Amino acid sequence: MIQLSGSVGEEFLILVYKADAKQATTIAEDLRRQVENSSILPDQTVTISVGVAGLQENMSASA
């Protein structure tokens, strides 16, 4: 399951449930590529930067 949430300013948070780091990285790269190849703004290139962080079962989200 993937959930998109608005964040501060131009930043967004995408939560990917039940995915390992490799799967999450693939999803992030696919999204980055789709934005870059889109025609969101005519005659302009739009890019995004993405990062992947993981949370394991024994970790606290508040850390």
Note the pLDDT of residue 32: 92
Asked if pLDDT for residue 63 goes beyond 60, the answer is no
Predicted model pTM: 0.72
3-state secondary structure of 5: strand
Distance CA 52, CA 11 (A): 14
Residue ranges of domains in the chain: 2-36
Alpha-carbon distances, residue 35 vs 21, 47, 55 (angstroms): 21, 6, 26
**Cβ-proximal residues to 38 (8 Å cutoff; 6+ apart), any chain:** 46
Angle, CA of 13, 8 and 43, to the nearest 5°: 80
What's the mean pLDDT in 4-28? 84
- In contact, 34 and 46? CB cutoff 8 Å: no
